Structures are given as C-alpha cells and as structure tokens.
A and B are shown apart, each in its own frame.
Chain A
Amino acid sequence: MIAAGTLSLSSFLTLGLAQAEIGPPEKEDLKFGFIKLTDMAPLAIAYEKGYFEDEGLFVQVEAQANWKVLLDRVIDGQLDGAHMLAGQPLGATIGYGTQAHIITAFSMDLNGNGITVSNDIWERMKPNIPKDADGRPVHPIKADYLKPVIDEFKAEGKPFNMGMVFPVSTHNYELRYWLAAGGIHPGYYAPHKGDTSGQLNADALLSVTPPPQMPATLEAGTIHGYCVGEPWNQQAVFKGIGVPIITDYEIWKDNPEKVFGVSSTWAEENPNTHLRVVKAMIRAAKWLDANDNGNRPEAVEILSRPEYVGADYEVIANSMTGTFEYEKGDKRDVPDFNVFFRHHATYPYYSDAIWYLTQMRRWGQIEEAKPDSWFMETAKKVYRPDIYAQAARSLIEEGKMEASEFPDFDTEDGYRDPQTHFIDGITYDGHAPNDYLKKFGIGLKGDDKI
C-alpha cells in the first residue's frame, strides 16, 4: 500500500524534485519467453550484460514454440513476461483470439521485417520491375509488380498462398498494407460469423506459419511468399530458396514492431519488479544502438548462440549490422533496418497502439465501427508510458542515462506527430483513427460490415 501511494504521488511531482527510490523487487526469480527472432535482442543483452542482475532480478529467458503458446503461458502465469507482437497485448485485451488483459510499458524495436517471395515468383515479377542505370531493380518494390503474377494464378484457377506469423502480428498488417497498396486484396476477417481465416474476398490467401519454418514451407511450395522478421528473410537468400523484395522500413519508415508484454494482474502485484525489468531493458536497448551500432557485432555473436536465435553469425549479421541483402549479391545499406533505441524506439506511444487498432478494424478483426474515443481508451488501457517514464527517471537519477535520451516526459502526450512515410503516401495521425481509415481504397471503414 505504501509503495503504491508513493508511486501515484511521484507521478505528480515535477522533474526538478527527487524521485522516490524504487523499492526492492516483489519477485526476484523471473522467467521470460521469446520467439527466435533477432528483435528479442534487448532480452538477451539485458541478461548477458548483467542489467537484470543489477536490478536484483534473476531472470531465465526461454524460447517458445510459437506466438500462441507464448501468449497462453503469459496469461496462465508460467511466464512472467514475454517478447510479444505489438498486436498481441491489444488483440488479447479487446478479446480478439484469447481474451486477457495484457499491458506493455516497453516497446522493443522499430522495423526489422521483410517480405520474401520464392525464386519462381521473383522471376515472374522481375520483368515488371523498373531498373536503375546499373540494371538493378529500383526499390522500394511495390505490390503493383506482383499483381500481374497473381492475375495469372487466378486465370489458372490456382490459389496464391502467402505466410505470415500470427493473425494479430505486425507481419500480417504489413503484408496486407503492402498488398492492398498495390491493389491486391488480402482478404477480410469476420469473427462474428466464426470466420477467422482472414481470407474473405482475398486475391492472396494469407495463413499462419511459425517464423523458423517459413523458409522450409516456402521451399516445399506450400506458400509462394511470406512476411517475417529476421533472420528468416536473409536465411532464404543464403540458402537460395527465395528473394526478399521489400523491408518493412520501406512500407512504413520506423514502424513499431515488438513490445514487452506482461499480464495486468502480474504488473499490479509486482510494480517494483516491473519497473526494474523496464529499467534493465532500456539499458539493453541503449547498448544495442550505442556508438552508431558499434556494439552490433558483439550482439550478433550473442544472438547466434543456440539458446537465443541460434542461426549462423553471417545470416544474423546481414541485417543487424546495417545492411540488407535482397536478391543474392544485391546488398544495400539499410542503417535503420533494426532500431532498438534511436527515435525513442522504446517509448510506448499511444499512437502506435492506435495504428494497430485501425488495421484490426480495416481487415474486419474488429467487426463494427468504433468511435475515435474507443481507440484512445483502448490504447491507454494497454500501453503504459507512465511506467516507462518512472523507470526512465530512475535511470536518469542513477546517472545511467541522460534526460535528453528520452522524450520530455512533462510535455509528451503519447502521440507521435502525423507520420508520412508510408509506401502509399497516406498520412497517419493517431488523433483521428476513423478519418485515417477513410483514406484507404481497400479495407473496412465507417459503418462497413462484412
């Protein structure tokens, strides 16, 4: 009770005053889950660099079989927290899929995904793609160039299948965004009619495949392309299975990707532990981006160990060290392909949450119209910048971080300025989600219902 009292009091204090010191952790032995993707890096680094131990926490990090297992284990308490898809806490809280109140006070990274197609599809797309002076394809490659291939599939009466990692994953929304921007309908969900396949009216049929199995499924011909995080796009290039054609950085520059999710009951029971976890993760994120990605080679070595991501060093290094290899040999600089700390990457912006909610509405996962206020309230229920700010202030006070490295907590309202860097040129303003939905040619808006 006393701790809770100080917490709420401290949030009213202005920055000039001393912050109340964070009390001892309520729970010291913790187990966090992750999926074998490079963007779990903050967890690995916080463990390996001893940041968790600095906070008096004894953490085990454990790879999980898939996103569903991971979420279920966070809900039933087998895991204290986990590396989650940004859409997972939101989806769970509004009751799409499994119903449970999950919150996040820490956003794990920006960008980091790519879309890969099989060699065969790439050969059929290639003639449509404009070339630059050196004869290399001009990037970003739009879905417009894939459309003729899909039309051929349709004419032959064959389904065009693509893989993504989870119904509420960033990858699902990014792949849909990219396809729809090129005039390819990715299909609607209709949960009120019991249809959760997301393939109603679809030109391209999307289905769930666990990330590590993407290359194998592509090679088997079950899917013709996929959207997934690293290292599974670079893996396809290395093994000569497929060709990554676009990164999510080019679909939406600096899009929020994974979050660190915990159940809201857990957060209420363990407020000090939660703050300390967030502190350790902020330090890890900072380390990952420090000295202009200077620590990345070491991070890649850590991630390539079998207990973390486990893929080969070269494969992980390809994207983690500021480059991205598209077609074999076509390696280009994408310095911001993986962002862990720059651009306030770790701050849980309400506007990021609202973007995900707009996409859930756009594709029918939210079956009916919701007022703007609903979007904002839901974001506030799940995204907790207040906890983040308290953890950050404690780090500043301990001299481990500078105030300039964070948003100005006194004035920050949790909404990014309207964002313009989308592949279709549409501007996103988190304050007006319903207006935003009206700008899309393909997708539900207003009172539309399936």
Chain B
Amino acid sequence: MNTQSTRSTPALLNIGRARLSLRAPSADTLSRIARALLLPLIGLLVFLFAWHIAARNIDTSLGQFPGPAQVYEQTLGLIADHKRERSREAAFMERQEQRNAATLAKNPDAEVRLRDYTGKPTFVDQVGTSLVTVLAGFAFATLIAIPLGILIGLNGALYAALNPLIQLFKPVSPLAWLPLVTMVVSALYVSDDPMFAKSFITSLITVSLCSLWPTLINTAVGVSSISQDLKNVSKVLRLPFMTHVIKIAILASIPAMFTGLRLSLGIAWMVLIAAEMLAQNPGLGKFVWDEFQNGSSNSLGRIMVAVLVIGVIGFLLDRAMLLLQSRMSWDKNAVVR
C-alpha cells in the first residue's frame, strides 16, 4: 500500500507540472476553452444588453418594463422579504409558547399545541412548494407510464388497442383538464383531516395527466424495438416472463425511457406553473398571478425574477435527469445532450 502510494505521487506531480508548464497551450485547447466558456458568456452579455435597451423602451401601465438592474434589485428584495418573514415566524412561535405556558399555568390539564406559522408564504416558500409538487406529480406519472409502456411495448395487441387513446389524450392542454380535475378532486377527496391539501392533489393530478405521455410512448417504443439477438438470447435461456422484463426489456430500453422521462419532466414543470396560476394553488404560478393582481410598480420586476427562476429550475431539473441517465445507462459511451 505504502510503496504504491509513494510511487504514484511523483507521477501525479509530474502530470501537474506538465499541465502547469509554461508551454503555450495549443490553438486547439484555446478554441475549446473559447467554445466552452467564452461563447456562452458573449451570448449572455449580448442578451443582457439587448434586454436592457428593449426594457427601457417599453412603457406599460404598470411602469417601465424591468431591465436586468431592476430584476437584480427585486431579487434582493425578495430575499430580504423571506428573511423578514422568517424572523416574524420566530416571533410568532415565541408568542405561542408564552401563551401556552400561561394556559398551562392556569390549568395544568389544558391541551396545548404549537401551530405552524400563519403568515404568508414567501417567494422562496413558493419555489419549494412548486418543486415538491412537480416532483410528486412526475413520480406519479412515471409510476403509471413505465409499467404501462413496458406492457404495451411487449404486447402488440395491447398496443393497437391503447394507441388511439394515447394519441387522443396526448395533445390535451393542462388548462382544459384543470376544471375537471378540480371538481373531481373536491367531490371525491373528502376527509376531515386530509393528509394533503386539495390544491396539492389537484396540481399533482393535472401535472401527471399531461406529463405521462412522452414516457409512456418512448418506453413502449424502446421495449418493442429490442434487437432480435437479445430476444433470441432470452428465448434460448428460457427466461421466465418477469426475468425477461427486468433483465432484457427494461435494460435494453433505458435510453429510450430516459428520453421520454426528460420530455415528461420538462412538460410537468411547464404544466405546473400554468395550473397553479389558473387554480390559484400555492406555488410559483400563484406568485406570478398575485403579483400581476397587485399591480404595484415592483410587480413586473418580481414576475421577471419568477420567470428567470422558473427557467433556471427547469434547466437544473433537465440536467439532473441527464445525470441520472448517464448513471443508469449501460452504454457509457452513448452521447447524451
């Protein structure tokens, strides 16, 4: 062990030295750095500049369209707002404890409990709510789409039977589903002490209904197009059905499945914002709508902050799926982008 490490250290150092050497980097490396860093940076700067100029020339009835500077200012404002709300929450909890202590002093048998903070959800809270909802909705959609996709991928007759339905429901907008889902959830989801809020269930189902299709279709296609060689192997080995599904069908269709999952997650995120906005369910969509209704001179800037945050989160979700795909995929050399 010891000798090995001492032996390997100089090697590492050598590599380091080689990298740090003053030899001019080749033109090839330079252009690669330029491609990786410089070009996106230039794109970003040009965009910021164009945005700044355009914003200055758009006057709305709620004041000037927010430019990068106003958006930065509103971002700081929203963060400060969040911190203020958290300190108010601490004060609220303290007041409750004092009150409970007083109640207990008067009547030791009294039942007291600590309540959640009753103040408003801040921007950061709304982001959290949206993230939880989208992941729950996406997970629910995946739980339906992958097993169903495998089934119809394996069975041509089933595929023929379900395909028209899939094609019919796939293009339906979330805004069309929403009223139906809302009414059905209010009618069926009745309990005195519900585990989840109705608004959460409504958003979740709407998101699932709209986002399960790409996963379903891609999984089916992936499973049905497994190479004949693999199928033959399975036949020769006389694999039982479940083993065939797990070892052959799922593994072989992972790339296709992930293509579907990434599309689904993207759709889920877009659908959620629209659903929250229309149904007034808590989350980023509601934040945007509330700010629009406020009509203050800060409103457009805050909405723009939300737009950028929605974009960044959408991007991060997609990258996370990509990471997951390269971890799960057996073909480590496949190009994913």
Give A residues with C-beta under 8 Å from B. 28-29, 36, 47, 50, 53, 56, 58-60, 63-65, 69, 76, 78, 212, 215-216, 219, 235, 239, 241, 304, 306-307, 309-312, 315
Smallest CB-CB A-B distances: 9 pairs: A310-B294, A307-B120, A212-B293, A239-B61, A60-B118, A312-B296, A58-B115, A65-B280, A311-B296
Interface string of B274-298 (1 = CB under 8 A from A): 0000001000000001111111110
Interface of chain B residues 94 through 152 with chain A (CB within 8 A) = 95, 99, 115, 118-120
Closest-CB distance, B61 to chain A (whole angstroms): 4
- Taken together as a complex, chains A and B put the C-alpha atoms of A207 and B219 apart, in Å, by 51
Q: Which residue of A lies closest to B279 (CB)?
A: A65
Closest to B118 in A: A60
How distant is the Cα of A306 from the Cα of B80 in the complex, in angstroms?
14
Residues of B within 8 A of A64 (CB): 280
In the complex, chain A residues whose CB is within 8 Å of the CB of B95: 50, 53
Contact B62 A239 (CB under 8 A): yes
- Report the separation of the CA atoms of residues A228 and B292 in the bound assembly, to the nearest whole angstrom: 18
The interface residues of chain A lying within 8 Å CB-to-CB of B167 are none
Contacts of A304 in B (CB 8 A): 296
Chain B nearest Cβ from A318, distance in angstroms: 14
Contacts of A63 in B (CB 8 A): 290, 293
Contact status A215-B295, CB under 8 Å: yes
Bound form: Cα–Cα A273–B186 in Å: 26
* Beyond A53-B95, A212-B292, A216-B61, 9 additional pairs, beta carbon < 8 A: A47-B118, A63-B290, A65-B280, A65-B289, A212-B295, A306-B120, A306-B294, A307-B119, A315-B296
Q: Do residues A310 and B290 form an inter-chain contact, with CB atoms below 8 A?
A: yes
A309 to B291, CA, bound (A): 10
Q: Which residues of B contact A310 (CB under 8 A)?
A: 290-291, 293-296, 299
Are the CB atoms of B118 and A58 closer together than 8 Å?
yes
**Interchain pairs with CB closer than 8 A, number:** 57
Task: Count B interface residues, CB 8 Å.
Answer: 23
6 residue pairs of the A-B complex, CB under 8 angstroms, read A53-B95, A215-B295, A307-B119, A310-B299, A311-B296, A312-B296
Complex Cα distance, B297 from A315, in Å, reads 10
Which chain B residues (39-93) contact chain A, with CB distance < 8 Å? 61-62, 81
Chain B residue nearest to A310 in the complex (CB): B294
Say how far B188's CB is from chain A's closest CB, in angstroms.
14
Interface residue SS majority, chain A: loop
- In the complex, chain B residues 181-200 whose Cβ is within 8 Å of any chain A Cβ: 186, 198
Among A36, A65, A310, A315, find the residue whose CB has the most chain B CB atoms closer than 10 A. Answer: A310
| A306/B118 in contact, CB under 8 A | no
Residue of A nearest to B297 (CB): A312
Pick the contact of B296 from A47, A216, A306 — CB < 8 Å?
Answer: A306
- Pick the residue among A53, A58, A311 that contacts B295 (CB under 8 A): A311
Give the distance to chain A from B55, nearest Cβ to Cβ, in Å. Answer: 18
Residues of A within 8 A of B61 (CB): 215-216, 219, 239, 241
- Given the known inter-chain contacts A219-B61, A239-B62, A307-B120, please indicate yes or no for A36 contacting B280, CB distance below 8 A: no
Known A63-B290, A65-B280, A215-B61; contact A29-B115, beta-carbon cutoff 8 A: yes
Most interface-central of A65, A306, A309 (chain B CB within 10 A): A306
For the complex, give the distance between the alpha carbons of A78 and B280 in Å: 13
Instruction: Give Cα A51–Cα B145 distance, bound, in whole angstroms.
Output: 51
Q: Which residues of A contact B99 (CB under 8 A)?
A: 53, 56
For residue A212, which residues in chain B have a CB less than 8 angstroms away from its CB? 292-295
Whole-angstrom CA separation of A17 from B81 in the bound complex: 49
What residues of chain B lie closer than 8 Å to A65, measured between beta carbons? 280, 289
- A235 proximity list for chain B (CB < 8 A): 295
> In the complex, what distance in Å separates the CA atom of A216 from the CA atom of B61?
8
Q: Shortest beta-carbon distance, B243 to chain A, in Å?
A: 50
Chain A residue contacts of B115, Cβ below 8 A: 28-29, 58
| Complex interface: chain B residues within 8 A of A307 (CB) | 119-120
Report the separation of the CA atoms of residues A310 and B288 in the bound assembly, to the nearest whole angstrom: 13
Task: Give CA–CA (A215, B280) in the complex, Å.
Answer: 22
**Measured between alpha carbons, how far is A304 from B297 in the docked complex, in Å?**
11
Task: Please indicate the chain B residues that have their CB under 8 angstroms from the CB of A58 in the complex.
Answer: 115, 118
Chain A residues within an 8 Å CB radius of B62: 239
A309 touches B294 (CB 8 A): yes
Contacting residue for B294 out of A53, A60, A216, A311, CB 8 A: A311
Closest to A62 in B: B120
> How close is A165's CB to chain B, nearest CB, in angstroms?
13
Using Cβ atoms and an 8 Å threshold, which residues of chain B touch A239?
61-62
CA distance A47 to B92 in the complex (A): 11
Q: Separation in Å of the A409 CB from the closest CB of chain B?
A: 31
Q: Given the complex of chains A and B, what is the CA–CA distance between A36 and B294 in angstroms?
A: 8
For B92, the closest partner residue in chain A by CB is A53
Interface centre among A59, A69, A76, A216 (most CB of B within 10 A): A216
Residues of the B chain whose Cβ atoms lie less than 8 Å from the Cβ of A78: 198
Q: Decide yes or no: A69 and B296 within 8 Å by CB, A59-B118, A63-B290 being known contacts.
A: no
Residues of chain A contacted by B118 (CB below 8 angstroms)? 47, 58-60
Q: Which residues of B contact A69 (CB under 8 A)?
A: 280
Q: Of all chain B residues, which has the CB nearest A219?
A: B61
Residues of B within 8 A of A315 (CB): 296
